Structure 1
Amino acid sequence: MTKTRNPEVTRKKLLDALQRLLDQKPERLSGKYKINVKSVQEEAGLSLGSAYRYPEVMDAIEEQKVAIAKRDIRKRSAKTDLERLREEKAKEKALKEKYRSALEEAKEKLDRLYAEQTMQQMAMFNLLDIDDKARLLQDSKPKVVRIK
């Protein structure tokens, strides 16, 4: 018994199989698969090499492969951009924390220096005799100028 071949039926099987694979609803394949000639032939239930007789099917498969590749490139590009931005944000955050801690350290040091300076001024002031203290306090009064 020989099989009768109907090119239109075979072509339709191949195109339907391609569409099922694109819709991710295969009937015969399971697991991960790529969109290529072999997977379309297997999904259609045809022998290997049968798709090569139909140039329009081969063109459709190739178009879909190119479209998927472009979509994947855009996804990877967007993902790498997102990763790059996240890394930059993390670096900026670390730098900000570094400068914030350096600022806090500088403020603490400045406070200590102000306290030390005030203590030294008070110690020097206490060493003066009473007349020098009075003169110093008199000289340090702000001079007020009247404006008419």
Structure 2
Amino acid sequence: MTKIRNPEITRKKLIDALQRLVDGDPERLTGKYKINVKSVQEEAGLSLGSAYRYPDVMDTIALAKQTQAKKAGNVRKRSASTDLERLKEEKSKEKRLKDKYRQELDVANQRLDEAYAEQTMQLTATMNLLDIEDRIKLLQESKPKVIRIK
């Protein structure tokens, strides 16, 4: 059984679907959508490619698409300045954090240097308390053993 195609009914379905999308009251599509040939065909319940047979409908879709793009362009211009401000704010926040962490790193390195110097002084003082024979014995025992790999 073959379908009987009526071009006027198909054209009407496409035009009605486009109008519903423009009005923001689609019957089939949900969520966010853009006005384009595919979304109009889906809203009309037609197969992909069916709108291309109607040049006047394609022109109407293109016009509606341009209108939607202009509206979205105005929104983008307004939000571009807020996006720029947001990005500048994030950048300054990151810079403050980096400065804070650099200062903390400097303090930690300074404490590490002080601890290393104190440890060296204590080791030197301990070595000075030992007899010369005990020093020699301790130094000989602390030499690392090297194992030859064949």
Range class of TM-score, shorter chain: 0.5 to 0.7
Larger gyration radius, structure 1 or structure 2: 1
Indicate whether 1:53 and 2:53 are aligned. yes
Q: 1:11 to 1:79 in 2, by over 3 A?
A: same
Q: 1:84 to 1:46 in 2, by over 3 A?
A: closer
Aligned to 1:11: 11
**Distance in 2 of aligned mates of 1:21 and 1:64:** 10
TM-score (structure 2 length as normaliser): 0.52
Q: Deviations over 1:84-106 (max 9, x none)?
A: 7999xxxxxxxxxxxxxxxxxxx
SS in 2 for 1:27: coil
Structure 2: gaps of 5 or more residues = 90-150
Query: Which residue type is aligned with residue 21 of structure 2?
Result: L
Deviates more, 1:25-34 or 1:44-53: 25-34
**Distance in 1 of aligned mates of 2:31 and 2:80:** 27
Matched length? 87
Q: Deviations over 1:96-138 (max 9, x none)?
A: xxxxxxxxxxxxxxxxxxxxxxxxxxxxxxxxxxxxxxxxxxx
Query: By how many angstroms is 1:80 displaced?
Result: 3.5
TM-score (structure 1 length as normaliser): 0.53
Q: Deviations over 1:3-36 (max 9, x none)?
A: 1111111000000000111111111111221111
SS in 2 for 1:12: helix
Alignment map for 1:1-148 (pairs within 5 Å): 1-81=1-81
Query: Which residue type is aligned with residue 56 of structure 1?
Result: D
Query: Which residue type is aligned with residue 50 of structure 1?
Result: S
**Distance in 2 of aligned mates of 1:65 and 1:83:** 25
Q: Percent identity?
A: 67
Runs of 4+ more than 2 Å apart: 78-87
SS in 2 for 1:26: coil
